[in-house]
Amino acid sequence: MNYIITEASPDDDLPHHLLLLADENQALIDAYLPSSQVYLLRIDTTCLGICLLQYRGEIGEIMNIAVEPDYQGKGLGRALLAHVIDAAGRQGVQRLLIKTGNSGIGQIALYQQQGFDLIGVNYNYFLEAYSDPIWENGIQCKHQLVFELRLRM
């Protein structure tokens, strides 16, 4: 599958429906989107993936990453994540964080396969930050898992 990954320009129309796949809280997306670098994965002119990355000194955090549902499981999310990890390293990031819910079995596996280690749990995060219950893989999403990838020592 031939794809390209680019940093979004101010003229790009962002696929907000993809952002909502990874984070159902529109208010949170609106809060972190303006201060994020946005990476888009496209096939031809169709945007099929998005990733938001923020920098805080030598620490980077992936705030949101999503791929169009019909294209999930085809390696596009893995490619997008690898691209963003590389971009963060070129920006001098030493530690890259990514957070997900306890019910995101596929995401948890992907992050660990890419070298991320579980370093923390924010208990009841999704119960407190989201008004409606979130269910994924038949599991209620309650806790936020924090993963870290050390890029430089």
Tens digit of each residue's pLDDT, the chain (153 residues): 799 999 998 888 999 999 999 999 999 999 999 999 999 999 999 999 999 999 999 999 999 999 999 999 999 999 999 999 999 999 999 999 999 999 999 999 999 999 999 999 999 999 999 999 999 999 999 999 999 999 975
Residue 34 maps to which CATH number? 3.40.630.30
Give the pLDDT of residue 10: 84
What is the token pair recorded at 69? 């549902």
Give the pLDDT of residue 124: 98
Report how many domains make up the chain.
1
Give the pLDDT of residue 153: 57
pTM score, whole prediction: 0.93
Residue 27 belongs to what domain range? Answer: 4-150
**Helix 76-90 to helix 105-113 angle, to the nearest 10 degrees?**
50
Using a 10 angstrom Cβ sphere, with 0-12 exposed, 13-18 middle and 19 or more buried, the burial of residue 143 is: middle
Amino acid letter for position 51: C
Q: DSSP string spanning 2-59?
A: --EEEEPPTT----HHHHHHH---HHHHHHHGGGSEEEEEEETTEEEEEEEEEEETTE
Rounded CA separation 15/71 (Å): 15
